[in-house]
Structure 1
């Protein structure tokens, strides 16, 4: 068998293997990728398989590659479901406006002004720093502390 006939046989087998994988449940794109991988493995081999051993080799390598890919995809989907998709949503009690107003009144005038600048006037942190004449890092820290203090007040614990 000359090289041209061998190439023709290999391309014909590639089409067969692709159809075989699709019939066994592989997506067409996945089947095409697997056939390409089989070709790469075939080309990387040092020896040339005789035609009667080529077909079983391609089918066996294609099927085992598909199973590996299928298991890897299943494991990935399981990990995504387990770690990245939230399973339970915490139900948060809606905050009453009167509760929020009472909590805000417990804050100092400076803290109230900081919250007004950030959320009511929707200023950026840099703009707040400029307006108050303090550094950006100080604005961030003060906002963090005010949030913590407000949260503790809303939860009913005293702030110290």
Structure 2
């Protein structure tokens, strides 16, 4: 990848990387700083880029930037309006149904926040960002069977808590 094409990659993936980092860091300013760190590191590591898919590689760089920050300070997933909009696809709800749906979404985020860090990242990358098991494996630097097991347990925990709440 050349420096000029990195600008195109930035324009194409910056918002998605920002949302991912915002969900992990829970703070807009920190997410902005981490996005900047991500693309600085991506530029620095252009030589080591081996032609793999850009999106998972970039998320791996973002993940590493987050891990560096996380070691200093632990945060929780933020319930931002864009995430809520994606989860709340049923726009034809009446006021009462909309309120109940919103409560369910808020509870989902509360449950996600209660998960261990690795489980939270796996479930977000798979269920929100639609990454493949292989891509998640590369982003988080864990094997595919570990991704599947972690995802299964995280989903099981979410279902268990959500079932009790409904």
Note whether the superposition's TM-score is higher than 0.5. Answer: no
Q: TM-score, normalised by structure 2?
A: 0.36
Q: TM-score, normalised by structure 1?
A: 0.37
